[in-house]
Each structure stands twice: as C-alpha cells, then as structure tokens.
Amino acid sequence: MRLTNALLRQHIGFFFKKHWLQQGKRVPNSTGAEEELAARGITVVDPSEVLKEQRPREDFNIPGMVPPPVALDETHPLWKAEPAYVYGDTNVLLEGVRQAQSLLNTAVYDDLPLKVEEKLEQTKITTQLDRSMQQAVLSALVFDTEQVKNAIVKVPDRPAYKLPRTYGISEGRRNQLILSKLVTHCERFAGRSVNANRKVVFNARFLVPLVKDSERVLLNLKAESMIISQDPLKPLDTSVYRPLDVELPNLFPLKETVSIPVQNIYDWKNEYPISRNYKLSHPHTILIHCSPSDVKNATELPVSRDQIEGRTMLKAFTVAAARARQLYGDDVKALPNPITVQAVQTDSKTFHFSVYQLNTLDLGSSTERNMWFRKAPLDLYSECGYIVGKPTLADYNKDVLRYFAVFYSN
C-alpha cells in the first residue's frame, strides 16, 4: 500500500509524535497554593535544597575489584621534583661494558680470579652426575608440560613478514628450570657441609641511589635467583691485580648516563632484601635471566653481547653496593672490608660467569677502584629440542656444570 498522508494519520508512531508536540505546548496553570502560602508568611523552598545532604566522598575497597591505576604525574606518591636516571631490568647501556666501567669506576679483567681458575683445574665432575645433568637439561627444556605462545620471531631480511606463532616453554620458565637443575646438581656435588651454609632466594629486589657528577642515578634491579651464605666470600688482594693500573675508557663526547631513561617517579632509598640479623644474609652468587624479550635498546637496535655483559656488571655492583650500605651506612665511601659477589647470567643456552669485588662507593675516586672478572660465555649445548620427532641434546658442554659447581662451593 502506498504511503499517503491519509494513511499516515492512522499510524501509531505518527500519532504519538503529534500528541507529544501538542502536549509540550501546554502551559501549567497556577493553583494559587504558592500565593496563599506567601500571604501567610510561609517561605517556599526548592525541595532539592532541603533533601540533598552534602556528604564527603568515602573511598573503600571492594574485594575482587581492580583498583584504578595511579596517575603518573605530580600526584604520584613517589613523585620527585628533581629527575633522576633510573636503570631498570629492561635497560641496557649503549656502550656496554665500557660505559659500565666508566660509570662504576671498575677495572675489567678478561679472566676469572687466580684462585677460581686453580679450583677449576682441580674440579672434576663424575660421569654419573654428568649423565644426570644431561637428563635434567632435557627435562627442563624439552619435556616440561608448559605450552604457551612463544615470542614473535622476525626475519632480518624481511621485517614485515610474519612467521607462524609456535607454542612451547616460555623463556622465563626455561631459565628458571635450567638454573634450578644446575643448583640441585651442585648441591649433590658439594655435599651436606656446604649446603648447610647456602640458601636460594627468588626475585630479590635491590635499590641503590648514587650521585655521579652532581646527577642522580638510581639502580633498581632484580636478581631472579640469589644464593646467600653464612660467611661472605673472601675478598681478592688488590695488590696482586693492581686495578689502578687498568686505564678506564674515555666515552667523550658521550656522557656516562647515556641511554639510561630519566624519570621523576622513583624511590630514593637503599634496599637490600634480607635482614642483616639473619645468619644467611651474605650475598654469594646471583643468577640472572637474560632472554631477548627481557631487554631492549632505546634505539630499537638488537642487543649486543657486550651490552648483556655490561648488564651483568651493573647487577653485581648493585647487589654488592646494597649490602655494603646495609652494613656500613648509607654515607659510606671507602669500605672497611671489600664485598665480593659472583654472577651467572643465562638465556638457558649461553652462560656467562663473572666475579665482582666492590672496594669503594666513591665513583670518582682516583685512589681506589672496583674490580670485575669475567669469563668468555659458554654454550651449554648447540641444539636442544625435538628433531624429526626425537628429543635431542646436541653438543652438550659439561664445563658449564663444572664452573657452576666451583662457584657454588667457593
């Protein structure tokens, strides 16, 4: 049927709209009640002014509800007027080890301390323990039941090409499992007398505020695992290694804080996660994860091996400095006794072993200098996974367990 005006007059929608317009033109008639009240001296008040009670707003927490995010501005409880360079777990230094040397006043040696090298030559891993470690590697990196989306893999020659996503064990869990297996086998190697003086803690957070050339630098770092001991590691003799004879690199025209992000929100305090009253409070060895997804460059360039090693040095320094200030006070410069910390960094395949000795917290001192000993990275294997449907561990390197056992029993 054709839509005409005669038809539309009978349409319910049309009728409702016209009725709405007509009723909107009505003028409310006065009942005379307000005039009568005014004549009797009674004031007429708007009900909203009487009934609406002004109550202060009360914030309360509802279980299960996610609190609103805290604004990252001047209202933040940790906001500071003076900005600082804050180095975190995802950051790396632009110049790697050279920049870390200059920033931390540290001499670098491309070998482990002589006592550690002598102990390495004397240490031998039994065949039974070696075979058990090989099975543990397969158990951690192949047979684990976790199945999550792996990190996106990029093809350098075709950056826009998207490879199919694969499922498997996440990088964080791989690192955690392989380090746990190594610690377990080191406990079997060392025996009960050593194990009684060792303990492993996880996700230990360290804060160390520094002032270098009138600029604030805050090291806010975490050790995914840390071995603590009842007795501190024996300090190395500086007269043997003579760190003052090692020339520090010159970064000119770059600043020592280049590539470290600047923030106004930070916690300017020293923090060591273990109470000094606990008998196993001395730092012994820190075990650090470093997978490709854990760190990134500010320039979006691939992270180099030198930058990863510089990250290890900074973490070892942070642990030693936090412990030194806990023992000797926040204003200490020259330490009464040096603090030595061992460090192992891994991505579940490559292991980097190093030893850091903190001699001074005066980063501009010309009479004292810290020391860092490092070994060339070691690969635990060349390939580990399913090859043609068969679990395979190719080119297993037993030296990794030997180095780990020496560090643990040191």
296 belongs to a structural domain = yes
Tell me which residue of 401, 405, 320, 399 sits closest to 355, measured CA to CA.
Answer: 320
Instruction: Kindly report the number of other CB atoms within 10 A of residue 130's CB atom.
Output: 15
Percent of the chain with pLDDT over 90: 63
Residue range 117-162, pLDDT digits in tens: 999 999 999 999 999 999 999 999 999 999 999 888 888 888 888 8
3 state SS of 172: helix
Residues 6+ positions from 78 with CB-CB distance below 8 Å: 265, 266, 267
Whole-number Å distance between alpha carbons of 119 and 106: 25
The 10 Å Cβ neighbour count of residue 371 is 23
Kindly state whether residue 57 falls inside one of the protein's structural domains.
no
Record the pTM: 0.83
Length of the chain: 410
Is 32 within the bounds of a domain? no
Paired strand residues for 107: 371
pLDDT in tens, 225-267: 999 999 999 999 988 999 888 889 988 888 999 999 999 999 9
50 confidence band (pLDDT: 50, 70, 90): confident
pLDDT on residue 9: 65
Q: What's the domain range around 330?
A: 82-409
Q: Find the largest Cα–Cα distance for the chain.
A: 112
Q: Would you say residue 285 has pLDDT above 80?
A: yes
**CB 209 within 8 Å of CB 308:** no
Provide the number of structural domains found in the chain: 1
Helix axes 399-409, 127-141, angle to 10 degrees: 100
Alpha carbon 53 to chain centroid distance?
Answer: 49
197 in any annotated domain: yes
Is 72 within the bounds of a domain? no
Q: What is the mean pLDDT of residues 386-397?
A: 91
Give 12-30 as a DSSP string: HHHHHHHHHHHHHT--PPP
Residue 379: predicted pLDDT: 94
